[in-house]
Structure 1
């Protein structure tokens, strides 16, 4: 009986670490996919839409991992002149549920955050002005 009393919480803690690792990689993969998709876009509005869709697709593939998620896409590096560097930054928060593990001392949930950056093509005019004369 004593073995069972000690073994069950230890197994719960191991499961919590497994969920945290899975949630961390899920958030990182979604942020990376969103940053890549957004940086390949032609303008900030398209970058926002494509980045969000890429993150949602990635999170959807791991829908049992994140109970809630938040996606923030920073496209402020987009309106750069050709030849100037620019970046897209994406932050994905993934909240994993821990309450159902029923381990004393564990919080009900844990939010894991991943941030990824992707460079925009520095030789493309993204200001929307083009070569119009």
Structure 2
């Protein structure tokens, strides 16, 4: 038997609890998507740097890195837009026998507009940088 003073309390609890629960679920999804995007970009940057380090010259290294980055991001179905790949190939100018490396920085804009979290921007830019050593005694 419900006393008269408690009438409507379930509706009030639902009105407060359901949005709070939805916000909590949205934050969990945001955390998962953020971690997944960060890991995917790190993997793409590592693949790109490795591909670039195997090239014989700087221009080929830049082309290989961009191709590897685009393919890696597409294969992971990340949903990035505005993908920017920056490749530092300055160490290709070093003489054979002198250690060097190739650095690749990848950034992309990930849409977060489908999450209903108040105060969350519609998208976020993620960036990752990786490097790979150039073969010291590579053939030119």
Structure 1 residue 63: Cα displacement: 2.8
- CA–CA separation in structure 1 for the residues paired with 2:78 and 2:106: 16
Contact 2:40 2:78 in 1 (8 A): no
Q: Give the SS at the match of 1:104.
A: coil
Q: How does 1:111-122 map to 2 (within 5 A)?
A: 111-122=125-136
In 2, Cα distance between equivalents of 1:35 and 1:61: 17
For residues 15 and 34 of structure 1, what CA distance do their matches in structure 2 show? 28
Between the aligned partners of 1:17 and 1:66, the Cα distance in structure 2 is: 17
Residue 103 of structure 2 is aligned to residue 100 of structure 1: no
User: Is the contact made by 1:88 and 1:118 (CA closer than 8 Å) also made in structure 2?
Assistant: yes
Q: 2:49, 2:130 within 8 Å by CA — same for their partners in 1?
A: yes
Q: In the alignment, is the contact (CA less than 8 A) between 1:95 and 1:109 conserved in 2?
A: yes
Moved over 6 A (4+): none
What TM-score, normalized by structure 1, do the two folds share?
A: 0.89
Identify unmatched segments of 5+ residues in structure 2. 1-13
Alignment partners' CA distance in 2, 1:94 and 1:30: 11
Count residues in correspondence.
126
Question: Root-mean-square deviation (CA), in Å?
Answer: 1.2
Unaligned runs of 5+ in 1: 127-133
- Kindly indicate whether residue 93 of structure 2 is the aligned counterpart of residue 82 of structure 1: no
Normalising by structure 2, we get a TM-score of 0.85
